[in-house]
Structure formats: C-alpha cells, structure tokens
Amino acid sequence: MINFSKVSKVYGGAQGVRALDQVDFSVAEGEFVALLGPSGCGKSTLLNLVAGFEKLTEGEMLFDGQAVSRPGPDRGVVFQEASLLPWLTVWENVVFGPKVQGLMRNEYEPRAHEILKIVGLEAFHKALPVQLSGGMRQRVGIARALVMQPKALLMDEPFGALDAQTRLSMQQLLLEVWQRLKTTVLFVTHDIDEAILLADRVCVMTARPGRITKEIPIDLRRPRSIDDLTNSEFTHFKAQIMTEMRGAHDPH
C-alpha cells in the first residue's frame, strides 16, 4: 500500500537541512502503523510526502503502486487541529469534500450518515464547530476524512491538543472505527502509550535526520481497549520502545 525506498528530504537546497535520510519501510493494506520519535525527527514530513503536500528529494515513495505527485481523495488527512469551516454545520463540514469532488448526493449522503453515527455525532449534525468540544471537533475531522472512503488515513498527532481524559476517549473511538472499517492508517505520535494501544506495528525514528531505526510488531490481542494500558504485555512493549527511544534521541 505505502512503500518508502531510500527516501530522503532536504530543505533549502543541497547544503540545506536534511530532515529525512534513506528511509526504508512499508505499510500493508489494512495495517495500522504508528511513527514514533523525538520532536523534529521528520515524522510529519514522512506523512506529508504520502499526502502529496511535499515532494521527496531522493529515493522513491509509492502509494498503491503509484508515485505520489499531489494530494488526492484516496488519502484522508487528519491534523492536530480539526480546521473545520466555522460557518458550516457538522453535516456541511463532513459532506464538503464529496460536494467539491462533484459526487452525487445519493452517493455520499448515506455514507455521511453512517460515518456520523460511527463517530457518535448523529445528534449534532446541525451544530456549528463553535458549539462543540475539542474532542467533538476532532471527531468531525475524522468523519470528514472517512466520508471520502480513502484507501489510507494519515493522522498527524490528531489527539495531541486534547486533555488526557478526552484523549483516551478519542483513542478508544479510533480503535472502534478502525476495527469496523479496517482502513489503512499511518499515525504520527510522540506518545508511547498511544502508539502501543493503537498500532499493529510501531516504527521508531532517530533524531534528525530521521531514519527508521526499529520496527516493533505489537502482538496485543484485538479488539483492544484502554484497559490494555495496564496489562503486563503492554508494559513489556513500553519498556522495549523506551529503550529504543533513548537511542533515537542520540543515534550516534
């Protein structure tokens, strides 16, 4: 589904800042992969390359077998801030993408109703973003991405700005949504617990220039819930990843 082969990204010309260096990894169809690493290591840059927001400097990056040249509806993106259109209702925000794409109402409306129900916002379809909590706005952002039926969902620290309780609630929601839809997910986070709870595999990145230093399969049973945060298997994976993260901060 997503394949990186010796991918590098340099900002500011040949002598500029090297954000990524010789990155090799892949994400299979239906897999949930978390990118974990120190701040500034290039996690978001990798995501932006897949999204088509940036272009690589060296190497090859394929999405579904094709080189990415621009953004497209086959890749849904969820940012840290939901960035909703404040003058539109929840419903209007969710169906904005399909309308812009010129899809027929009978194509996208049943899907939009289903997604709003899945994320628990069916009763708030007429609300404006200002009337919603931070977690609810982020649910709208997820619904807006999913209604396009993307082949992959790209999530850039989507719960980073939320309080701890809301963050746990959103993690549980995402687990339930992914379990139901099985969309391919590439998820950027700096939170070890979040990465273990959500992902099939955690890719640990070095400090800049970013490289994948370790890929750790998370063999916890599914379906998962936030109750798994306290079990012994979870603690084992956390200790392993913390060891890798200490090395990632100073790979030399």
Count of the separate structural domains present in the chain: 2
Q: Could you say which DSSP state residue 178 is in?
A: H
pTM of this prediction?
Answer: 0.94
Q: What is the pLDDT along the chain (252 residues), one digit of tens a residue?
A: 999 999 999 998 767 899 999 999 999 999 999 999 888 899 999 999 999 999 999 999 999 999 999 999 999 999 998 889 999 999 999 999 999 999 999 999 999 999 999 999 999 999 999 999 999 999 999 999 999 999 999 999 999 989 999 999 999 999 999 999 999 999 999 999 999 999 999 999 999 899 999 999 999 999 999 999 999 999 999 999 999 988 766 544
The burial class, CB within 10 Å (0-12 / 13-18 / 19+), for 214 is middle
Residue 84 shares a structural domain with residue 125: yes
Any idea what DSSP says for residue 95? H
Residue 172 located in a structural domain = no
**Do 123 and 200 fall into the same domain?**
no
Q: How many CB atoms lie within 10 A of CB 129?
A: 19
Q: Is residue 173 part of a domain?
A: no
CB atoms within 10 A of CB 26: 13
Range of the domain at 214: 1-72+150-158+181-252
Cα 128 from Cα 145, distance rounded (Å):
18
Residues 207 and 85 in one domain: no
CB contact at 8 A, 213 and 205: yes
Closest by alpha carbon to 184, among 75, 94, 78? 75
Identity (one letter) of the amino acid at 56?
L
